[in-house]
Structure 1
Amino acid sequence: ERRRKTTGIFNAEARQPGKAPNFSVNWTVGDQGLEVINATTGKDDLGRPSRLCKHVLYGRWMRLHCKVRTPRPCGYREAKQAAAEYHSAKQTLFRAFHGAGLGAWVKKPIEQDQFALTT
């Protein structure tokens, strides 16, 4: 039986293990189209940050948070530190990676989480 070849990013023969693509594509229900992001910079071809960057997602979370709770967290890191369910899920993920022999999660510098929303 001859296997059918596919084209595009799903072609297993074209995949080069160890070499990440230089772009990322995302979309969600309700979006007008795909978002193509430079994987090195995290920005689109016009220099705008991704709609999935920490700052944008934190802004959306903060708008929802302010509708249902007070007080308002000072910044992203403080909000993240206060999220008990997040930390529990993260530890479960880390244990699963370790148990499957996939190694440890790579931690990013703490400075990446030290920002507040600007109005």
Structure 2
Amino acid sequence: MARWNVLGLQGALLTHLVEPVYLYSLTVGSLQHVGHLSRAVAHRLGGLGGLGRLPAPYRCHRPLLACLCRGRPYHPGKSPGTSVNWTAGDAQPEVLNATTGTRMASGSPSRLCKRALFTRWAKLVHRSTPLPYCQAKRAAEVYQAVKQRWVSALREAGLGTWVRKPPEQDHFLLCV
């Protein structure tokens, strides 16, 4: 979430179409200590001197924070194995196996998988020639530069190294 406060929620592909989208507020249920949340989400950004002045429209954003307290004790258990998503205009929600990200009914990939979202993005930008996913993401040059500054600032501040996903996950070709 701290990364979202610098780069926005939209990711590299959507920066081709929109400016960074920042959370206005964040509400957490059953929070034990508001200070811990505040430090993790927003206040550590102030200690990242390596970020410096970010190129517009990027900034170090701080959302409003709130917590909901329960009257009775909360006993965490195993999370459910399903996930549900829906959008306006859908006949019904998409129910997924939360472990695999595939549809419960058919086992087919979710409409939220990288390939499906990349296909929609390509249609939005009227892309008709084959394009590797990783190349489309790299083309968001300002986003990538700010992301690299974020990773370097974390390391320089002694907050660790940002864990990256395996690069081969982004090496697929979209033929539209």
Q: Does 1:77 align with 2:134?
A: yes
CA contact (8 A) 2:130 2:174 kept: no
Going by fraction, where is strand more abundant, 1 or 2? 2
CA contact (8 A) 1:25 1:34 kept: yes
Q: Does 1:35 align with 2:78?
A: no
User: Equivalent of 1:63, from 119, 123, 127?
Assistant: 123
Structure 1 length-normalised TM:
0.63
Deviation string 1:60-83 (CA, Å, 9 cap, x unpaired) is 00011126xxx8562100000111
User: Equivalent of 1:50, from 65, 86, 110?
Assistant: 110
CA contact (8 A) 2:132 2:174 kept: yes
After TM superposition, give the deviation of residue 42 of structure 1 in Å.
Answer: 1.3
Deviation string 1:84-109 (CA, Å, 9 cap, x unpaired) is 354356468769x999x8x7654211
Q: Which runs of 5+ in 2 are unaligned?
A: 1-69
Greater RCO, 1 or 2 (C-alpha within 8 Å, sep 6+):
2
CA contact (8 A) 1:66 1:72 kept: no
The size of the alignment, in residue pairs, is 104
Q: Which runs of 5+ in 1 are unaligned?
A: 6-11
Deviating above 6 A after TM superposition, structure 1's stretches of 4 or more consecutive aligned residues are 92-95
Amino acid at match of 2:164: K
CA contact (8 A) 1:27 1:35 kept: yes
CA distance in 1, matches of 2:175, 2:130: 13
Percent identity at matched positions? Answer: 46
Q: 1:117 to 1:93 in 2, by over 3 A?
A: same
Structure 2 length-normalised TM:
0.45
CA distance in 2, matches of 1:73, 1:89: 27
Q: How much is the aligned-residue C-alpha RMSD, in angstroms? A: 3.3
Q: Does 1:22 align with 2:81?
A: yes
